[in-house]
Amino acid sequence: MPVVTPTRDERISQLASLYRTQCKALLRFLGRKVGQHDAADLAHEAFIRIARADLSQTPLHNERAFLFQIAANLAVDYQRAQRRQSRVLTTSEIDDLLTVADEAPGPEREAQSRVELQGLGAALRELPPRRAEAFRLSRLEGLSHAAIATRLGVSLRTVEADVRMALDHCAERLHARRHPD
């Protein structure tokens, strides 16, 4: 038996008729499931979904049943979403949220960092100017070694050696300041 697809005007007429005959019943049905406040929104969504349904391949034998099935599914989805949103935290979850460790450094760590920064500055001042500049461009400005070589007018190997020697010098000086044996 061939499937007869209604025209656009016929489909609009069918939907308007379905709306007129089923809207109040659908609102009561949804009101019992989700409350009157949210029933209208879900009913509206159900009618939108039935209007968008592609019925060209499978015609409906019972549009009312299809509409109410869509509405029931929307109500279940709505209730799940409400449960996720309104989940009550347990006492231990609340305690965990309230006992977040303060990750900001304390005054002692800040003072130690200032001393280390001063030591790094002193170590950099001990370096030859080109080596200090190569280190600054590499570590503070983030330039590539090739870009530094171009800027300073030296070879890539020279920049690599200057940066490595500057790092070694600074590490040695900072270690000596921490462990003055």
Residues 126, 169: contact at Cβ < 8 Å? yes
Select the more confidently predicted residue: 177 or 48. 48
pLDDT at 3 over 60: no
Residue pLDDT, tens place only, 94-150: 777 777 676 777 888 888 888 888 888 888 899 999 999 999 999 888 999 999 999
Residue pLDDT, tens place only, 41-75: 999 998 888 888 776 666 667 888 888 999 999 99
Residue 55: its pLDDT value, please? Answer: 64
pTM of the model: 0.45
Residue 113: its pLDDT value, please? Answer: 83
CA atoms of 47 and 14, how far apart (whole Å): 12
Task: Tell which residue, 72, 75, 68, has the closest CA to residue 21.
Answer: 68
Query: How far is C-alpha 169 from the geometric centre of its chain's CA atoms?
Result: 42
Select the more confidently predicted residue: 162 or 82. 162
DSSP the chain: -PPPPPPHHHHHHHHHHHHHHHHHHHHHHHHHHH-HHHHHHHHHHHHHHHHHS--SSS--S-HHHHHHHHHHHHHHHHHHHHHHHTPPPPHHHHHHHHT----S--HHHHHHHHHHHHHHHHHHHTS-HHHHHHHIIIIIS---HHHHHHHHTS-HHHHHHHHHHHHHHHHHHHHHHH---
Residue pLDDT, tens place only, 151-171: 999 999 999 999 999 999 988
